[in-house]
Structure 1
Amino acid sequence: MNLFLPSIDSILFVCMGNICRSPTAEAVFREKSRQAGLSITIDSAGTIGAHSREKPDHRSQKAGIERGYSFEGIRSRKVNGKDFEKFDLILAMDEQNLRDLLSVSPQEFHYKIKLFLEFANNFEEREVPDPYYGGAGGFKFVVDLIEDASDGLISKIKN
């Protein structure tokens, strides 16, 4: 993986509805970056606003809380135009959300938008699958993927 990362002080995690994958990434990355001694602004959002102001899906919370992550204060919101200026890195959970972000982002900010799993080291998946219509195992697998990509991203930021 040869990804150039400028100074990273803020990260936005993005999925479609901002109730499963991206809030899990926010919770996991917040804790892992705290443990690594990093001071980074972390948020999450969705490419659609259907769940605005809702808490993360209870199954996402359960899978994350079982591993020690807090979802305190996380509420769904839709990506807005200011996000592209504000955040140093905008990480999409899958190819469709990557395309959606690129289609609404000003061209000058496209370099900030990447797939989150580009930072994973132990999985071959390129996309974090949407666990919404599946069982508990899908939510646990999402946490596995997010933990791995978080570790990889933290390693890149620290180096």
Structure 2
Amino acid sequence: MKILMVCLGNICRSPLAHGILAHLVAESGLDWQVDSAGTGDWHVGKEPDRRSIAVAHKYGVDISAQRARLFVSDFFDLYDYIYVMDRNNYRDVLAKARNAADKDKVRMFLPDGIVPDPYFDENQFEPVFHMIEQRCRELIRDLAK
């Protein structure tokens, strides 16, 4: 199974989701591929935000080797599931869909809400980490069935 996590700049939320899910997948012995991308191109090629790296490291997850990528339509061919962090990401990813099959792959990461972007609020990185970790555990439980 191949899963892509998407946020705006691919430096805060989606790298955390990518790293946390990949860590949990490895612990579970699952043969899944997890990646991430952003809908904006400001940070392409750069490492995740230092605060995301720090909070992930605090909980034993290393995301420091990740590099930001821009979401492109070809990703619909590469991934089984594409999880987006908020409604704007959802809209932007759907705008690149070429057909109904592409659209069917796109889902909100949190089925009943959004993952807040912690970029402008230093105090949000830890709560966002825990929110993402909880959802990643649910995804493993649900998708592994």
Bin of the TM-score, shorter chain as denominator length: over 0.9
1:74 maps onto 2:66 in alignment? yes
Q: Is the 8 A contact 1:117 1:145 kept in 2?
A: no
Partners of 1:148 and 1:30 in 2: CA distance? 14
Let me know the Cα RMSD of the aligned residues: 1.0
Partners of 1:51 and 1:158 in 2: CA distance? 33
5 Å-filtered alignment, 1:92-103, equals 92-103=84-95
Partners of 2:144 and 2:96 in 1: CA distance? 30
Structure 1: 5+ residue runs without aligned partners?
Answer: 1-8, 119-124
> Could you tell me which amino acid in structure 2 is paired with residue 143 of structure 1?
F
- 1:41 aligned to 33, 40, 43, which one? 33
Partners of 1:141 and 1:95 in 2: CA distance? 20
1:20 maps onto 2:12 in alignment? yes
> Could you tell me which amino acid in structure 2 is paired with residue 128 of structure 1?
V
Taking structure 1 as the reference length, the TM-score comes to 0.88
- 1:111 aligned to 67, 86, 104, which one? 104
1:31, distance to aligned residue in structure 2 (A): 0.4
- 2:56 aligned to 64, 78, 88, which one? 64
Aligned to 2:82: 90
Runs of 4+ aligned residues of structure 1 deviating over 3 Å after TM superposition are: none
Q: Is the 8 A contact 2:48 2:64 kept in 1?
A: no
* Percent of pairs with identical residues: 35
Aligned residues: 144
> Could you tell me which amino acid in structure 1 is paired with residue 21 of structure 2?
F
Taking structure 2 as the reference length, the TM-score comes to 0.96
Partners of 1:15 and 1:51 in 2: CA distance? 12
